[in-house]
Amino acid sequence: MRKIRSALADEYEILTDIAFKSEAYWGYDSEYMNKFKSIYNISQEFINRFPTVIIEEDENIVGFYGILTEKNETSLEYFFIEPKYIGQGYGKILWNYLVKDCQNHGIKEFSIVTSPQAKEFYVKMGAIPSGEIESLLKKGRTIPRLIYTI
């Protein structure tokens, strides 16, 4: 049975593992992935402070998102699906929940910084490309930035 719920702080290691495996799905080398894990490590503090939501199937965590709101700016900080579930519709289900969640929190717009491989998913969901920024993971690499307006 499918369920969407708020993440619990003690699930931070599971979420970090899903993020790592989901990013590795795109075939990055170990140097890149080690840096990814050090920068995109989901913390208990993040889960406690910001909306962090998981999608489960039969009590297994399939994916999650985390919304970061700082300095009057909102960004989709995390949006990851466990690789074995990619392409099965869970991302779209979680995205639709995210949009409703943002509406409930009074969020009218958020930014997304993502890998080039995931860009098309966000565009398909209605996000608008808004240039590129330098990657935190690899010097000289630029990655897409998008804006989603609710």
CA torsion through residues 44, 48, 52, 56, sign: positive
Residue range(s) defining the domain that contains residue 61 = 2-149
Q: Residues, the chain, total?
A: 150
- The structure tokens listed for 103 are 């509406």
**What is the Cα–Cα distance from 40 to 43, expressed in whole angstroms?**
9
Contact 90, 108 (CB under 8 A): no
pTM above 0.85, yes or no: yes
CA dist 129 and 111 (Å) reads: 10
116, 142, 95, 145: which is closest to 27 by C-alpha? 116
Q: What's the CATH code of the domain at 143?
A: 3.40.630.30
Q: Where are the beta strands (DSSP E) in 11-135?
A: 52-57, 60-70, 73-81, 109-113, 128-134
pLDDT per residue as tens digits for the range 113-137: 999 999 999 999 999 999 999 888 8
Indicate the number of domains in the chain: 1
> CA 42 to CA 21: how far, in whole Å?
13
18-64 pLDDT, tens digit each: 999 999 998 888 888 988 888 888 999 999 999 999 999 999 999 99
